[in-house]
Amino acid sequence: MRYLLLILMLASPSYAVEPSEMLDDPVLEARARDISKGLRCLVCQNENIDDSNAGLAADLRILVRERLTAGDTNDQAVQYIVDRFGEYVLLKPTFSAGNLLLWLAGPLLLLGGGAGTAMFIRARGKPNALSEKVLDGDEEVKLARLLQD
């Protein structure tokens, strides 16, 4: 039983949030953790700042906690970070006209690739003009001679 408990403790996710960064108010800390999970570490790029050990991620976590302590709502705190670092800091960017191409590029490329593949396969199955060409009399004589040799 002790080993099972030890394995479960080791298997739990580890967070990079230092105890010194944590807020005393559990409600504010929960809000800060929620916000941190939606913000990208600008050093690691595909990791949220809650899980990142990078110094910049720690600075962002502290900044989020400072904004919440100052009385900002979650949206205001996120907007404060976005205003300073750009929308790239969001793990899930907003859907707007400015990034419409980014949202549509993946599905459009997938559809275009599928259509191109279908056209290639369809064209490959059709006989082309060279495969249907019939030999004329001179060519048949030459072919017969070649085959006899």
Q: Write out the two tokens for 104.
A: 């549509």
pLDDT tens, residue by residue, 36-69: 899 998 888 788 888 888 888 889 999 999 999 8
**Among residues 21, 48, 20, which one has the least CA distance to residue 34?**
48
Fold observed for domain 2-94? Helicase, Ruva Protein; domain 3 (1.10.8)
The domain segmentation of the chain, as residue ranges, is 2-94, 98-148
Count, residues in the chain? 149
Task: Give this prediction's pTM.
Answer: 0.57
12, exposed or middle or buried, with CB in 10 Å at 0-12, 13-18, 19+? exposed
Higher pLDDT, 25 or 15: 25
CA distances from 132 to 116, 127, 142, 145, 146 (A): 25, 7, 19, 22, 21
How confident is the model over 72-130, as pLDDT tens digits?
Answer: 999 999 999 999 988 888 888 787 787 788 778 889 999 999 999 999 988 887 766 66
Angle at 112 between CA 110 and CA 114, to 5 degrees: 70
Nearest of 60, 57, 68 to residue 24 by alpha carbon = 68
Q: Regarding predicted confidence, which is higher, 20 or 137?
A: 137
